[in-house]
Chains A and B, each alone.
Chain A
């Protein structure tokens, strides 16, 4: 029991450490950040946050980002809901191929589409607007939302649709009154994934707008005069907050959304050397996070040549997937 607590405690510390470091950085002065390694701020300062909330270029960046993210989430859901219903309930020519083709959009790197989008939006005068980004992100978010929603919709028995028709419901009325409440959790999960993708996406935003979004503004902290670490950390903390809020609201449904991955390859959680039940996803997460720490330790203790650190990471990954 105690061993289990220790292991879980270490696991938690591993998760929290980067966030803790980010928060303390945001409360320090640049002099202290560059000077010495301190666990707690020696000269506590809120100057970095004050800068963000007082300078229009900073707080407008957040508002700008929020507006295209919300716009994108709404557009994605409005398109994906009827599309997912069609994929779930009707058979039509090429439906399976179309369904897979949608997902293949999601697999393409955004860089592939950046230039065509730029060219197109410049031509039709959409460049440098929230619509430009919101629509561009739809290319990635609509397929994802359709895939998630289709899974949830197919979990609702077809007989409910038929009963509603027999009861006299028209299709739109049935959809809004009966069906959407039934898949509310699916809508929540889709909204979460759309939100997160759009919120952290950098390349398309920078290409399609004139550096108005927060992710673009944050890069301005790096200048010829050096990096403003404190300000960057403060902006980072504020960037985490919307995501954390969304997770809080849909936390009960997210597990179900992730479980959809397990539909392709069903698995059971198993209890390994850590004494906690883990799934494939957990093990991947532990591997990635652990690898980051291995590399950091190598940098600090050995030197900048990370070749052997990478080899060590591979051994670590193998061990985690075998034993944990």
Chain B
């Protein structure tokens, strides 16, 4: 099945939850909806499923208009952030429930339930009720129900957000494998850019109800078309600064001057916005052409294998804030003066209207 959203909008009480989104999803693909909270991920999923009706626009499944179609008649499965199962039924009956409604033969139901349970490692818990399971197992049960149903469209709305780190990692690894075999359109909503990169497939970045960019995940990550696309797909947040190019030099608002080399060399004079991902902001000079920015350290966060160094530049605190992500443990004293470096070949340059003016040519990944 292919799913086609045609200029979908959803307006509730005067506010645009979804604003003119067009999107085509093909069968057997993994699609990630990426955006911060309130970006419209859940709204968009509910429209895809048919739980809500768009204010304008059409939803087409295999070319057939299913916009006003009853949810019961569509072959869709959805997994929520909360662990939603039927608490009064056993795990077995939970997984079997969509098949029971379809009145499939008993042996077929049994076969499919056991296969789905095996895939999600629930075989030994089939007789329990969902509330007797751990959080991770409850979510596995919800996912198993979607698998057993063999839905054409599987929607997962931040399914791992309520799980602890270890379980999240474990289930995230399994998910693409589980759904790869089914041939369904697999849609996964998340707020975390890392999760989108780990899942692969295609990514649609959303912001304030609008579709910002859609394409293969790596491409959306490496070649964002606009400042908004780059900002949505950056964790920690993208470092953004306004620069002014005059002839051979660029000026930063904090007074930093640097020769315009690398990507900046070919730009026409004028004002631009540059975006630098945290891991491209370095604490040591990478090469001769690197732009050095002097500032003082606000705070250092250490995760063990990496350190986030928060730096502000300029005379007043808050003039410009930067976050550098560096491997290893760097203990930098707050208040210390420090130099941070940007490779002029490894940054995004956006025109004032937010469109990409220049980006890294060879991504080197």
Contact = CB atoms under 8 A, between A and B. Distances in A.
A94 B249 CA distance: 66
Interface string A165-187: 11111100100001001100000
A167 B97 contact: yes
A287 to B, nearest CB: 39
Contacts of A181: 88
A167 B84 contact: no
Interface string B71-110: 1100011101010101111000000011001100000000
B58 interface: no
A159 B72 contact: no
Interface string A182-203: 1000000000000000000000
A160 interface: yes
Interface of B: 49, 51, 71-72, 76-78, 80, 82, 84, 86-89, 97-98, 101-102, 142, 145, 149
A178 B86 contact: yes
B145 to A, nearest CB: 7
A95 to B, nearest CB: 16
A162 B51 contact: yes
B261 to A, nearest CB: 54
A153 to B, nearest CB: 14
Given A159-B82, A163-B142, 11 more contacts: A159-B84, A160-B84, A163-B80, A163-B86, A165-B71, A166-B76, A166-B98, A167-B98, A178-B88, A181-B88, A182-B87
Given A162-B51, A178-B88, A181-B88, A168 B72 contact: yes
Contacts of B71: 162, 165-166
Contacts of A165: 51, 71-72
A300 interface: no
A22 B89 CA distance: 46
22 contacts: A160-B84, A162-B71, A163-B84, A163-B86, A163-B142, A164-B86, A165-B71, A165-B72, A166-B49, A166-B51, A166-B77, A166-B98, A167-B97, A167-B145, A167-B149, A168-B98, A169-B101, A173-B101, A178-B86, A178-B88, A178-B89, A181-B88
A154 to B, nearest CB: 15
B76 to A, nearest CB: 6
